Structure 1
Amino acid sequence: MLKIAYHPIYAHPLPEGHRFPMLKYELIPAQLLHEGTITEANIFAPDALPEKDIVATHDKDYWLALKNLTLPYKEQRRIGFPLDAQLVEREIRIAQGTIDCTAFAKEFGVAFNVAGGTHHAGSNWGEGFCLLNDQAIAANYLLNNNLAKRILIIDLDVHQGNGTAQIFANEPSVFTFSMHGDKNFPFRKEQSDLDIALADETGDEEFLSKLSEALKFVFEKHKPDFVFYLSGVDVLASDKLGKLSLSKNACKQRDQLVFEACIKNQVPVQVSMGGGYSEDIKIIVDAHCNTFRVARDLYS
């Protein structure tokens, strides 16, 4: 059974005119329910994440500044929106949802968080709409509780997973793989275990070919027993911030390649949705929903 983390706070409204499309987090499960891809039984609402699991990944002083809403204005600007209590609660529920998904992935092969993929948050900073790094927190949760020994993080959002790379720079149990736009945010990149930087306007054939080769390499090299997948749809040609030229069908094929690699290697996978900034919200939602549809077909 597909299990999907969703909480109404995921769609917490931001100041009017803000470009981050929070509405998609409400529309994705609504569309999946409408078309019959899932039922209400597939959806669960995560609780708030315990503080001990936050500070196992993030610097305690940084976390307290978030919690107490005392983060300096300059650091809030780096995140990209004004800090408030609901945004902090949103982040900790997203992170708990990703942790919860790891157990469901072990049971059913795959599990989803409708939000998450907050890969720009480093150990002591937030950036690019990311306050806490949900997949890094969940990876450390698995390691610290002896629930996994070798973790692979596959980040196919158009932006490099710089926060994830920084957090696990000295952790051999976690292999970080980021395939992203070379001349795109963040402009100061961190070093993942494997970075594949793509030129502007990279299209379907080149993207899928490089991904296929990379997946074979990372599974053979690291031999993971758990996978985290960040499935951002800002790789689409229609995306305002992406600079790549993927079709929606190629984005769907990308998801299929990842899931097929996990199935072939008998490794459970947790999926967080990441970015998507096309002008038409319907394109964003449909591309994200494709990730769920592919998983339903492959794991049913």
Structure 2
Amino acid sequence: MNEQPLILNGTVVAQQIKDELAVRVQTLTEKGVVPCLATILVGDDPASATYVRMKGNACARLGIRSLKVELGKTTSTAGLVAEIERLNDDPSVHGILLQHPVPEHIDERAAFEAIRLDKDVDGVTTAGFAQNAFGMAAYPSCTPAAILAILDHYGLPIEGKHAVVVGRSPILGKPVSQMLLNRNATVTVCHSRTQDLGRIVALGDIVVAAVGRPQFIRGDWIKEGAVVLDAGYNEGNVGDVDYEACLPRVSAITPVPAGVGPVTIATLLKHTVEAAERTL
């Protein structure tokens, strides 16, 4: 491509969201309501601990209370569910985030389902997923919502475009597909086992990479002028897209880091503030 590609700076988008939230948090605090996000960390995975700390720091900067719940790696499913139910019953807690992944012996889906819908600010319950499919979710999954927020911030059209989503997880690939479909995109969902994947990705006006494999999406797969959103984050600060190889072909692309990630965290804070506002 001759034109310089647009780098979709997630830090800028996230800051705009947080600037708007600061006013709303101030208003709530003056009314005696301090928005509170409870984060649950099970076990001692260092990456998960880092994510929880980042979310806590982001809360603190906005005046949102961050309640950290740390459980040992031998915690049972029943023990985790009991902790979630305690937070459900605590009126001072407005949002509950269970940090993924949990230790293998825990039934993660059962734990997610224990989160009450009005506190499911990360969009992980099946009821929340169903509402999202119908375009009715109060709190859609945060990363999919972040992807749409980036597209909207930069005025990139969705309606009528062919969006190819690579990944089918219940909190990323599937919900972002539904959200794009609800915005009148034509959506193809692929995954790591899709045959002739490169040919299908090459059809995409919008490509969402959410497969969880470093630099999986190759430059020669990308259609000239496509918009690429990389929702992956892998060891070594690389995404699911081969950024350097894709750069000459795209019209717009998110970097990793400073792309989708900061907007995901800002969206989580936004949902928590909205949940607090609903209590008034």
Question: TM (normalized to structure 2)?
Answer: 0.36
Q: Determine which structure has more spread, i.e. the larger CA radius of gyration.
A: 2
RCO higher in 1 or 2 (8 Å CA, sep ≥ 6)? Answer: 2
